[in-house]
Structure formats: C-alpha cells, structure tokens
Amino acid sequence: MTTAPPPPMPRGKAENKFWDYHLEHPDVFETFRHLANNWRASRGPDARLSIAMLFEQARWHHLVYLGEGDPKLSNDHKPFYARLLMERCPELERIFILRPLQVECSFGPRNDDLMNYNTGL
C-alpha cells in the first residue's frame, strides 16, 4: 500500500507531528490495519475496538513477531491513527468510537458530527 500524503493545511501541531511520524514509519499503519482487520474477522463486521488496545497490541506485535523493540508509538497519535484507519480502510468503518479533538483534525469526521458518527445515525 502506498502512503498517501497528508491532507492540505491547516493542521494543528499534534497533527503535524503525527504526519511526520506516519510518513517516516508507514509500517506502523500497516500493522494497525492488519490487527484491526483480524479483530473484525474474528468478532464480526460490526465489532468495535479501542484504539488504545490496538496500540498495545501493535507494540507487542512489533516486539514478538518482528523482533523489534517498541516502535516508539506516541499516545498522542492515537486519535489520528483511529481516524486515518477508518478513512483509508472502508472495511474498518466505525470500528472506533471517536472523541472530539481540541484542534479540529483535517481529516475524518468533524467534531460537530461525532455524536451522529459514533451512534451510526
């Protein structure tokens, strides 16, 4: 899978750091995608998952299966990976419940739309 460039500006400082990390480590996104798809395959197409659980599983996956240490995943990137996974992987639509961000994200659902988005309306 090719790593698409980030959406156009403006973006907040946290989102800029996320895009810098994501473009430097595209394998992390692929690990998240793989783990989330496995979750859905074992639990059903409407199964929900916590992005925090996915982060911990990815850390374990990198250590055990890839023989690499902690990929230095910043917890600050959780909301951005959740939005990116659901935006770029249609099979993972609505897998995460999203919370509003202090600075509006340049991709994924807008803060004002999250109540309807999370409930599926």
Decide if 109 is inside a domain: yes
Higher per-residue pLDDT: 27 or 84:
84
Decide if 63 is inside a domain: yes
For the chain, give the number of residues: 121
* Model pTM score: 0.83
Give the count of domains, the chain: 1
Number of helices and strands in the chain (H, E): 5, 0
Decide if 7 is inside a domain: no
- Tell me how far apart the alpha carbons of residues 18 and 8 are, in angstroms, rounded to a whole number: 14
pLDDT at 121 over 80: no
8 Å CB contact between 55 and 73: yes
Decide if 55 is inside a domain: yes
Decide if 43 is inside a domain: yes
What pLDDT, on the 0 to 100 scale, is given for residue 15?
92
- Tell me how far apart the alpha carbons of residues 24 and 33 are, in angstroms, rounded to a whole number: 17
Decide if 80 is inside a domain: yes
For residue 59, the enclosing domain spans: 13-119
What pLDDT, on the 0 to 100 scale, is given for residue 106?
86
Place of tokens 């996915």: 54
Decide if 8 is inside a domain: no
Decide if 1 is inside a domain: no
SS (H, E, C) 36-65: HHHHHHHHCCCCCCCHHHHHHHHHHHHHHC
State the average pLDDT over residues 15-27: 91
Q: What is the pLDDT of residues 49-106, one digit of tens each?
A: 999 999 998 888 777 666 665 557 899 999 999 999 999 999 999 999 898 888 888 8
